[in-house]
Structure 1
Amino acid sequence: GYDILFFWVARMIMLGIENMGNSPFHTVYLHGLVLDPEGIKMSKTKGNVLDPLELIDEYGADAIRFALTTGTAAGNNVRMSEGRLESSRNFANKLWNSARFVLTVIEREGVRDNWMNPDVTHLHDRWIISRLNTVTAEVNRHMEAFQFGDAQKEIHDFLWNEYCDWFIELAKIRIASGSEGNPIPVLIFTLERTLRLLHPFMPFITEEIWGILCESVGTPDDWEEALIVSEYPVMREDFYDIQSEEEMNLLFELIGAIRNIRGELRIKQNTKLNASMISPEYYQLLEDHKEIILKLAGVDLSLSEAAQSNSNVNSVTLVTTGVTSYIDMGEGADMATEISRLEEEKEEISGHAISLEKRLSNPGFVGNAPDDVIEKERDRLKKALERVERLDGILSKFN
């Protein structure tokens, strides 16, 4: 760690200048210390040392590598915990499962010849390519600044939250419906480019998937032999498409709001709801995506460009960017009971938040409690206040 390496670096620089006339290196990257889950420096005498070979056997080398470097800035210490390792392993599994889906689609549907330079005309394809381009630019910027943790987070969030959670689900619907604009070339292109971005951080799994993918799709004779010697992606101006990002974000916000309210009211996933939506500006966008909204949010739409009220005693009003929605929860929904339950939860959490605030404002507690205990209490207070705010927002939507 930096507590020892600094002196080694200083010694090397001084000896280099004294004996050779110049510094042996111009850039030094010092990482932080790897601490145990309690924030204590690992030591054999304390018995809190983790054996990396045992961890690799349990979680995999890539997961350990990712856990050590994700979300940390240069010089900052890292608390190595079981939860951190499991999260990294889950990410590796997510990557593998997304690749398996793409490979299955290739085997079933065949490969389009233009996957290396796909025809990007469909809104979904334009969006994911634009987002990939933005992430590529951000990753390169972070890498040049030696902010490797931030670079990894960009790739992690893009692959998990956008490519897997949204684009693959949208692609499934498009493939099943046989609509125009086959998403397979963009599925392959985006996965292949993401593997290149991720390779420095998770070299083994990305190399394995990349090799299988290239063998499945077929590559030209001058194609790179291995991912480790492949060209790293760079940003392309022609891939930016701000309009597609804005339109897709509008749809994601709408679908997410409906999913959240269904979850809070414990509406079963297979229960289809009716919804009236008013959007003078985005009427055509919603009309074009009625099937998508039905499949992903479980609501059958009735669209209107004019402002009108379609609420009833069993409806919930949602206001998202450019859209006002009235979601009919159906006759089977006991709205009074659900509202009462949410109000009771809000009252209970509010009381808990007040007790936490009193504890954290007590000089005796703050002055005597360990730093990690205080930090945990602050985190609990933050989560409690966020939940109260969320419940306020949900209750305000009921008519």
Structure 2
Amino acid sequence: IVAHSEEEALAQAKEKYGDDITLTQDPDVLDTWFSSGLWPFSTLGWPEQTPDLERFYPTDVMETGYDILFFWVARMVMSALLFTNDIPFHTVYLHGLVRDEHGRKMSKSYGNVTDPLEVMGELGTDALRFTLLTSGTPGNDLNLALSKVESNRNFANKIWNTARFITANLDKATKADATDSPDYTAADQWILTRLSEVTETADRLMDSYNFGEAGRQVYDFLWGDFADWYVELAKVQLRDRGAEGGARAWTTLSVLREVLDNCLRLLHPYIPYVTEETWQQLKQAFAAADLGIAPAEGWAQALIIADWPAAGSKYPEAAADFERLRDLVRAIRGARAENNVEPGKWITAVLSAGDKTEFIKQQKPILCFLARLDEDELVVAETAVPPEQAITIAVGEISCYLPLAGMVDLDKERERLTKELAELERQIKRVTGLLNSPFAEKAPADVVQKERDKLAGLQASQAELSERLASL
């Protein structure tokens, strides 16, 4: 029975069940959405004026789904104005709905419901949390694929392994190597500049409630710039004691600590468990090593109460030079891959570096380590004479020549390219014949276009291989 009043309900009940019936109202009933509307202040001890109510009410941001905006959020605002004469929060942040990987709403009838507890048990709470926070854009639904969660589990592993690398190398320096004025290398200055930039970017994005992009920026920096580049070249700086003794290793360890420490702080809202555990391990290891390396404010008791990172020093000129070095390494790696040079093989190179000559000479150990160049055979000059039969790479004002002799077996490479060209010609002939047959008139337009795109790709590969064969 549904009615607007007790009298109307009683009349309906008597009509249905007879006159011998009475209605008794439950003395303790509160509508679900009405009770939820009291949440911002009732959970803090209201109507009593408790310390929690004084400190935490009103709050700042209310985060919820757009589908219950009027069921819940509007009721909270109205209830707060009625009972406290204040709004419960100044900002409402609406997230989208979580759908399956095909964009369908999750439903038991579809059989596409993802149980978060099962995913957390299999792939980790942090991995699922980071995926949900970074996979969508503000206000839009997100399609949840388990492959994304698996990828973010790998990211958590990357964080842990990076910390293990750092703590495993703390014996490379001593407290006697400590200095208040570290002599940073170009690589140190580059990574510190990038850390400062990503910290500023993350702050700006979080202030505008773009939490997903903020997390993605830190992800790209930690994995791409820090782990894949700086940690790799740190291996050179840690082993190359040179005339500086352990000072170079101490400075490198100091930079490693600063970057990872700040990344853990930036990522803690997204990945609380792994970052807290990693940070505690880092803190204990540096304290035990007694190197005099620690945050300026000292180590907090826990990451969750540690200071939020602030942007630090920037070295734009050194960072720009190092970016040019990275471009050079990428280009050399690309040339090696195109010519099927074994990954572990050390090759020779000649560099014509112009006004970057001194910088490149200073970076020889790092360049050779990252690009697998023979340091003893590497030639760096302002203007170098290109060797015969060499691959030419241009990166800004720097020209790099990779002599083919010794890098590849020329006869075998010619034979391989000739075979590949023959196979390409066979495929081009087949697709061309297909497009010139009645198929092109009868088949659906999208199928025909797919074959045309395939032909264009084959012809581009043919031109590239022909050019490489000619260069040999």
Shift of residue 99, structure 1, vs aligned partner: 0.3
C-alpha RMSD of the superposition: 3.6
Aligned residue among 221, 242, 257 for 2:316 = 242
Aligned residue among 260, 265, 274 for 2:334 = 260
Q: Which has the larger radius of gyration?
A: 2
Higher relative contact order (CA closer than 8 Å, sequence separation 6+): 1
Shift of residue 336, structure 1, vs aligned partner: 2.7
Q: TM-score if structure 1 supplies the norm length?
A: 0.82
| Structure 2: runs of 5+ lacking an equivalent | 1-63, 288-293, 436-443
Q: Distance in 2 between matches of 1:71 and 1:389?
A: 35
Q: 2:204 maps to what in 1?
A: 141
Secondary structure of the corresponding residue to residue 354 of structure 2: coil
Q: 1:212 maps to what in 2?
A: 281
Superimposed CA distance per residue, residues 23-45 of structure 1 (whole angstroms, 9 cap, x where no aligned partner): 32211111111111111111122
Q: 1:273 maps to what in 2?
A: 347
Superimposed CA distance per residue, residues 254-286 of structure 1 (whole angstroms, 9 cap, x where no aligned partner): 111111121222211222211111111211111
Contact 2:66 2:94 in 1 (8 A): no
Shift of residue 309, structure 1, vs aligned partner: 3.0
Aligned residue among 388, 392, 410 for 1:317 = 392
Q: 1:10 maps to what in 2?
A: 74
Q: 1:27 maps to what in 2?
A: 91
Q: Are residue 132 (structure 1) and residue 132 (structure 2) matched?
A: no
Which amino acid is 2:352 matched to? Answer: I
Q: Are residue 189 (structure 1) and residue 258 (structure 2) matched?
A: yes
Shift of residue 16, structure 1, vs aligned partner: 3.8
Q: TM-score if structure 2 supplies the norm length?
A: 0.70
Q: Are residue 160 (structure 1) and residue 237 (structure 2) matched?
A: no
Shift of residue 109, structure 1, vs aligned partner: 4.2
Shift of residue 189, structure 1, vs aligned partner: 1.6
User: Superposition pairs for residues 1-399 of structure 1, below 5 Å?
Assistant: 2-7=65-70, 8-17=72-81, 20-107=84-171, 109-110=173-174, 119-179=182-242, 180=244, 181-182=248-249, 183-218=252-287, 223-236=299-312, 239-300=313-374, 301-306=378-383, 308-312=385-389, 315-331=390-406, 332-333=409-410, 334-337=412-415, 339-340=417-418, 399=471
Shift of residue 77, structure 1, vs aligned partner: 1.6
Shift of residue 10, structure 1, vs aligned partner: 2.9
Shift of residue 21, structure 1, vs aligned partner: 4.4
Superimposed CA distance per residue, residues 63-105 of structure 1 (whole angstroms, 9 cap, x where no aligned partner): 1111111142211222111210111001001000000000111
Q: 1:267 to 1:132 in 2, by over 3 A?
A: same
| Structure 1: runs of 5+ lacking an equivalent | 356-363, 367-376
Q: Distance in 1 between matches of 2:453 and 2:120?
A: 34
Q: 1:98 to 1:343 in 2, by over 3 A?
A: farther
Superimposed CA distance per residue, residues 46-77 of structure 1 (whole angstroms, 9 cap, x where no aligned partner): 22111111111111111111111114221122
Residues paired across the two proteins, number: 376
Contact 1:112 1:184 in 2 (8 A): no
Superimposed CA distance per residue, residues 322-349 of structure 1 (whole angstroms, 9 cap, x where no aligned partner): 2111112335144434545676798869
Q: Distance in 1 between matches of 2:392 and 2:455?
A: 25
Which 4+ runs in 1 deviate beyond 6 A? 344-349, 381-398
Q: 1:203 to 1:60 in 2, by over 3 A?
A: same
Q: Distance in 2 between matches of 1:91 and 1:302?
A: 39
Contact 2:135 2:142 in 1 (8 A): no
Secondary structure of the corresponding residue to residue 326 of structure 1: strand
Secondary structure of the corresponding residue to residue 282 of structure 1: helix
Q: Distance in 2 between matches of 1:232 and 1:389?
A: 51
Which amino acid is 2:217 matched to? Answer: E
Q: 1:359 maps to what in 2?
A: none
